[in-house]
A and B are shown apart, each in its own frame.
Chain A
């Protein structure tokens, strides 16, 4: 069994959804980022570590700004791997997903990328702009290295696409709860639940729901029917809100994460 399936099995036995948290590596700087990533990892079942990119086309203003801060502070892909390895060292059971855009692994080479990701302790990769149709450029390599490939589904996904994505995905399915970019407002909960149930007809993989989860109440509601709840912009926002004060930033992130964690345990 892969580490991700262990995580979901453990959450299931505790009768709760997994907390899947996102933070951009290197935001606001490398030293602070190490602290923040570990703080968030303490409270999470799965941590999505964002690789900063110059052109984050699927992200809203909050995560765009995080990418800009990280790049401005000099975060390189090697730093992302190093920070990931440090988180792994302190959190042996945590699920770790490396998340970002296709061009970084494409340019450094998917083989090289996969090798370093595995060495750093990564379980799965989520590349927003590689749909199953373009998976030919990386699927074989990720599979060879034992990396799961997380794929997205959205409200625009047709029946045909749901089947295609379920066939190619591994680890879990990430259901984007609204047509939009990260950090937008959450869609109608009932419709989301229906879609999640519908996806389950086609796959045994866990289904996590994200994009727009901002409050503990939303997390709880989503957690009632999804296998995992993804929270991103809400956590990333604690960085600019406390930008001059790393201690306060860390505390704010800890509070935000623990209230989400509690909501899922209730």
Chain B
């Protein structure tokens, strides 16, 4: 039985009026959108600030988070895992227990309420791993909204169970074949469709990236993660964590966990997908290996060549397979507040198996990157210390990928 949790609804560390996060002389974020989208984006911004101040909106949102999504999600002390590693105590923020199996619903509930309030009848979204697509299709069903989900064809293959879930929920899943047929191309396509239909359609953006006001709005809807975790850790352990760890694709679960912790004396770590290794070209580590660039409406870190062409990425997890990253995380790294780390496909897969076997929790492959880095960091610390890891989603959707990969590895092992 979840108890009532009191959330802080003040907007802390707001960007400037144009949605910029200043760090080291660089204005990250902003609104690099085509003229046709400027008015729709400004309309959303106005509606968001009005709604955020509106008690009725907040009551409805928080009531849905509690009774529909099942918040607050637990903070779980992974004692066996901690003991096995012999280092710091690992606490898992169980976003995998949020309805639909990932943190994504926190944001889609907020944005769908906003769409509803603005009188939009139709929602569209991009999705990579399919978790945001499922969370969007879910709220579309809940609010009776028409729903189109854009998904790279390659991701549809990797995340087939989620495609079926979205369809069951009544959404149209539209395959995207352009470019690399993954998340970035799904964003491109959703933006194109939105431009042509912005009058009656709300674009439920899935991560804390994109043009202003999305990075701010998505962050605000996800700060429930960090606020709960902070209070739960104080209640259970009697103190704050020493380190907080989250995986980063676009960065929605990371900003949700880390943002409410940034004014505390806690080391914040973002874990990117190192794919086949940071020394190869097959990774998706924009903060570790990228440089400043402008894509999908904001200025942030980006994997690109010397001429500004966006580079193909690779990760075993579709949700992290994205060349960009949210602008606020880029600014936090630039200002020195955020440390960046990474985990390879193999490390994530090993962490996936370890957590499953030692704690009986099957994590999403995305979250397995955070687990891998969290275990590594905890192992180098002492048992009185605490490492808080965001377990952003559950791994049911990844069973096919893991099965194939383990079979492949076993075969290679035989040869």
Cβ-defined contact, A131 with B33, below 8 A: yes
Give the residues from 152 to 205 in chain A that come closer than 8 angstroms, CB to CB, to chain B.
Answer: 152-158, 161, 165, 176, 178-181, 184
Report A102 CB to chain B, min CB distance, Å. 4
In the complex, identify which listed stretch (A52-60, A115-123, A243-251) lies at the interface while the others stay far away. Answer: A52-60
CA distance A180 to B192 in the complex (A): 7
Cβ-defined contact, A151 with B35, below 8 A: yes
Cβ-defined contact, A184 with B310, below 8 A: no
Cβ-defined contact, A179 with B307, below 8 A: no
Report A266 CB to chain B, min CB distance, Å. 31
The reply to whether the CB of B31 lies closer than 8 angstroms to some CB of chain A is yes
- How extensive is the interface on chain B, given as a class? 35 or more
Cβ-defined contact, A161 with B310, below 8 A: no
CA distance A161 to B33 in the complex (A): 14
Q: Which residues of chain A are near B179, meaning CB under 8 Å?
A: 54-55, 68
The reply to whether the CB of A141 lies closer than 8 angstroms to some CB of chain B is no
The reply to whether the CB of A77 lies closer than 8 angstroms to some CB of chain B is yes
Q: Which residues of chain B are near A158, meaning CB under 8 Å?
A: 39
Q: Is the interface of B mostly helix, strand, loop or mixed?
A: mixed
Report A22 CB to chain B, min CB distance, Å. 16
CA distance A176 to B36 in the complex (A): 8
Q: Which residues of chain B are near A106, meaning CB under 8 Å?
A: 292-294, 299, 308
The reply to whether the CB of B119 lies closer than 8 angstroms to some CB of chain A is no
The reply to whether the CB of A104 lies closer than 8 angstroms to some CB of chain B is yes
Cβ-defined contact, A156 with B32, below 8 A: no
Cβ-defined contact, B191 with A57, below 8 A: yes
The reply to whether the CB of A1 lies closer than 8 angstroms to some CB of chain B is no
Closest to A129 in B: B32
Give the residues from 288 to 329 in chain B that come closer than 8 angstroms, CB to CB, to chain A.
Answer: 291-297, 299, 302, 304, 306-310
Give the residues from 179 to 235 in chain A that come closer than 8 angstroms, CB to CB, to chain B.
Answer: 179-181, 184
Closest to B212 in A: A133
Cβ-defined contact, A157 with B33, below 8 A: no
Report B174 CB to chain A, min CB distance, Å. 14
With A55-B188, A179-B36 known to touch, is A64 a contact of B178 (CB < 8 Å)?
Answer: yes
Report the number of A-B residue pairs with Cβ-Cβ less than 8 Å: 122
Cβ-defined contact, B31 with A103, below 8 A: no
Report B211 CB to chain A, min CB distance, Å. 9
CA distance A104 to B293 in the complex (A): 9
> Number of A interface residues, CB 8 Å?
43
The reply to whether the CB of B86 lies closer than 8 angstroms to some CB of chain A is no
Q: Is the interface of A mostly helix, strand, loop or mixed?
A: loop
CA distance A56 to B191 in the complex (A): 10
Q: Which residues of chain B are near A128, meaning CB under 8 Å?
A: 34
CA distance A131 to B196 in the complex (A): 18
Report B215 CB to chain A, min CB distance, Å. 15
Q: Which residues of chain A are near B192, meaning CB under 8 Å?
A: 57-60, 181
Taken residue by residue from 92 to 115, chain A's Cβ proximity to chain B (1 for < 8 Å, 0 otherwise) reads as 000000000111111110000000
Closest to B191 in A: A57
The reply to whether the CB of B195 lies closer than 8 angstroms to some CB of chain A is yes
With A107-B307, A181-B196 known to touch, is A161 a contact of B38 (CB < 8 Å)?
Answer: yes
CA distance A217 to B184 in the complex (A): 38
Report B92 CB to chain A, min CB distance, Å. 36
Closest to A174 in B: B35
Closest to A164 in B: B38
The reply to whether the CB of A130 lies closer than 8 angstroms to some CB of chain B is yes
With A104-B308, A179-B199 known to touch, is A130 a contact of B32 (CB < 8 Å)?
Answer: yes
The reply to whether the CB of B181 lies closer than 8 angstroms to some CB of chain A is no
Q: Which residues of chain B are near A54, meaning CB under 8 Å?
A: 179, 309-310
The reply to whether the CB of A76 lies closer than 8 angstroms to some CB of chain B is yes
The reply to whether the CB of B18 lies closer than 8 angstroms to some CB of chain A is yes
Cross-interface CB contact of B36 among A77, A130, A156, A165, cutoff 8 Å:
A156
Closest to A151 in B: B35
CA distance A54 to B206 in the complex (A): 22
Closest to B30 in A: A134
Report A259 CB to chain B, min CB distance, Å. 28
Closest to A76 in B: B307
CA distance A56 to B359 in the complex (A): 45
The reply to whether the CB of A71 lies closer than 8 angstroms to some CB of chain B is yes
CA distance A102 to B196 in the complex (A): 21
The reply to whether the CB of B40 lies closer than 8 angstroms to some CB of chain A is yes
Closest 8 A/B residue pairs (Cβ): A107-B308, A180-B196, A152-B35, A154-B36, A103-B308, A104-B308, A156-B39, A54-B310
15 extra A-B contacts, CB within 8 A, seeds A57-B34, A107-B306, A180-B195: A54-B309, A54-B310, A55-B179, A55-B295, A68-B178, A104-B307, A128-B34, A152-B35, A152-B36, A154-B34, A156-B37, A156-B38, A156-B199, A179-B195, A180-B36
B positions within 8 Å CB-CB of A = 18, 30-40, 178-179, 184-185, 188, 191-192, 195-199, 291-297, 299, 302, 304, 306-310
Instruction: Show 16 A/B contacts (Cβ-Cβ < 8 Å), sorted by A.
Output: A55-B185, A68-B179, A102-B32, A103-B302, A103-B310, A104-B308, A106-B294, A106-B299, A129-B297, A131-B34, A134-B32, A152-B35, A154-B35, A154-B36, A158-B39, A179-B197
A positions within 8 Å CB-CB of B = 53-60, 64, 68, 71, 76-77, 101-108, 128-131, 133-134, 151-158, 161, 165, 176, 178-181, 184
